[in-house]
Amino acid sequence: MSKRRSTVTISIHWEGDPESQVYRMPAWLFKTLAIGSVVFVVLVGIAAVLYTPIVRTAARVPGLNQEIARLTDENNQVQTLAATLQELEQRYDQIRTVLGAEKVPEALTTLRPDGLPVLEALIAKSPGADPRYGDPGPSLPIYWPLDSLVHGGVTRGFSAQSHPGVDVAVPRGTPIRAAGGGTVVQAGFDPEYGLFVLIDHPDGYRTRYGHTSRLLVSAGSSVDAGEVIALSGNTGRSTAPHLHFEKRRGDLLLDPRATIGEDS
């Protein structure tokens, strides 16, 4: 007696058609198709879940590439600027060495028995007693701020773009004199200039004296031409004792050596 095979009958009735379409298939084929359909749907769902982040990431790639290119360009510019700055500093050090700036004495001090430094006494003529300077009171800054350049030389000149004044190598503790009479508008510390003095003169002139070791005037003080306002030093952004001297009229930077005699 033969075993009867089980079948699955599928009847399809189309709307408007009086006849129905009947399909029969083995049960094993129906089960196979049903399981295959379920597996297919599951695989499609998994693929959708995994593919969506990939699509999103791919959409972001062009923007990320542009950002990487921008950051790479900025990094190259920073490296170029750093190399240029290092080269300028090396040249500056070479110039200082050639001019003897590194031979400037470090300090005009003595030591107490306990080892603490003591600044030597400052002896300077009053402006009124020195025939080099004019009458007391406000005056144009026409005098050189140092008694002489015998202890050093100009290690860096004036440049309106990169260096607004001149640097003069002098021993620490050298008296710095006002280039003209006027009013002290600032006297304090700046990260770039160190201890500095800024003086207002008539006709819109201003002078600045930077990298000092000691201030002898304060904001609001009135000073005469030739008056000692500070002592030179190595404060702020400085590699050796020197005086940074600036002169300007309004917003116009001036070359101090072109407008002031060094032997004044």
The pLDDT assigned to 178 comes to: 94
Domain assignment present for residue 264? The answer is no
Please tell me whether residues 247 and 117 are part of one structural domain: yes
CATH number at residue 164: 2.70.70.10
* Position 241 in a domain: yes
Name the pTM for this structure.
0.53
In a domain, 226, yes or no: yes
Q: Can you tell me the mean pLDDT for 32-38?
A: 83
Within this chain, do residues 240 and 188 fall inside the same structural domain, yes or no? yes
- pLDDT cut 90: percent of the chain above it: 28
Q: Confidence class of residue 84 from pLDDT cuts 50, 70 and 90?
A: confident
Backbone angles phi, psi at 125, to 5 degrees: -70, 145
Residue 223: enclosing H or E segment and its boundaries?
strand 222-223
Query: CA-CA distances (angstroms) from residue 90 to 84, 170, 192, 246?
Result: 10, 21, 19, 23
Helix, strand, coil percentages, rounded to 5, for the chain = 30, 30, 40
Q: What is the largest CA-CA distance in the chain?
A: 145
The per-residue DSSP string of 82-95 comes to HHHHHHHHHHHHHH
Task: Indicate if 192 and 228 belong to the same structural domain.
Answer: yes
Q: Tens of pLDDT along 66-83?
A: 888 888 888 888 888 888
- CA-CA-CA-CA torsion sign (170, 230, 157, 236): positive
Place 198 in a pLDDT band, splitting at 50, 70 and 90: very high
Give, for 253, the enclosing helix (H) or strand (E).
strand 252-254
Residues 85 and 209 in one domain: no
**CA–CA gap between residue 193 and residue 237 (Å, rounded):** 6
- For residue 123, name the pLDDT band (cuts at 50, 70, 90): very low
pLDDT of residue 182: 95
Rounded mean pLDDT, 142-161: 74
Q: What's the average model confidence in pLDDT over 104-125? A: 48
Structural domain including 197 reads 109-259
Q: How many domains does the chain have?
A: 2
CA distance 19 to 22: 9
pLDDT value at residue 3: 57
Least confident of 40-44, 93-97, 152-156: 93-97
pLDDT at 218: 93
pLDDT at residue 113 in the model? 58
The answer as to whether 151 is a domain residue is yes
Contact present, 104 and 152 (Cβ < 8 Å): yes
| Poorest-pLDDT segment among 12-16, 21-25, 129-133 | 129-133
Q: What is the mean pLDDT of residues 233-246?
A: 91
Average pLDDT over residues 236-259: 89
Query: Residues 85, 135: one domain?
Result: no
Higher pLDDT, 208 or 93: 208
